[in-house]
């Protein structure tokens, strides 16, 4: 009776490293999807609260903006976007695309009574004359929009405050 002491290799019948990697990846995906689904109702509710409609703000050229009487006295940076206003307060937030149902976000700011608004993005400058009206500015993929309406009436706040 001969015994083989170490001459032959026995293979383990365990699950193996590839299966562990696949399992870990599936776990990560499940956690991410679960987190997104848990946050979705909050994102939809916030998008609905921030869905402001109204007439468009009068937009001005740079020379016309410089010639009008309201001067920019307050500036704030939000998500690498500069917002300037003459007066009043502003509140900004990041809103999830497609009414809170999509992926990615855009920046939206509400102003109590800015007089005039200057928005600077990487795409350039936009100028709006709002006079005493409240206003809401959205910046989606570098495109700036403004309507003469807002629900905000309080103190300044920006994301992260």
Q: Is residue 160 part of a domain?
A: yes
Q: Is residue 96 part of a domain?
A: yes
Q: Is residue 3 part of a domain?
A: no
Instruction: Write down the pTM of the prediction.
Output: 0.72
Structure tokens at 61: 């050229």
Partnered with residue 56 across adjacent β-strands are: 147
Mean pLDDT by 10 residues, the chain (161 residues): 56 70 76 67 89 95 96 93 94 90 91 95 95 94 94 59 41
Distance between CA atoms of 122 and 69, rounded to whole angstroms?
A: 26
Q: Is residue 2 part of a domain?
A: no
Q: Is residue 7 part of a domain?
A: no
For the CA atoms of 38, 44, 49, 55, the dihedral, rounded to the nearest 10 degrees, stands at 160
Q: Is residue 48 part of a domain?
A: yes
Give residue 92's domain range.
15-161
């Amino acid at each position: 009776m001969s015994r083989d002491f170490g001459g032959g290799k026995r293979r383990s019948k365990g699950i193996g490293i590839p299966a562990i990697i696949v399992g870990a990846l599936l776990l990560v995906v499940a956690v991410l999807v679960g987190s997104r689904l848990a946050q979705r109702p909050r994102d939809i509710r916030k998008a609905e609260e921030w869905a402001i409609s109204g007439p468009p703000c009068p937009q001005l050229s740079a020379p016309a903006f410089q010639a009008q009487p309201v001067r920019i006295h307050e500036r704030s940076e939000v998500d690498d976007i500069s917002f300037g206003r003459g007066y009043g307060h502003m509140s900004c937030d990041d809103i999830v695309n497609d009414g809170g149902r999509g992926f990615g976000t855009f920046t939206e700011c509400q102003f109590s009574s800015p007089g005039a608004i200057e928005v600077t993005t990487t795409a350039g400058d936009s100028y709006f004359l709002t006079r005493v009206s409240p206003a809401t500015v959205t910046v989606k993929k570098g495109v700036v929009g403004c309507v003469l309406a807002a629900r905000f009436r309080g103190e300044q706040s920006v994301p992260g405050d």
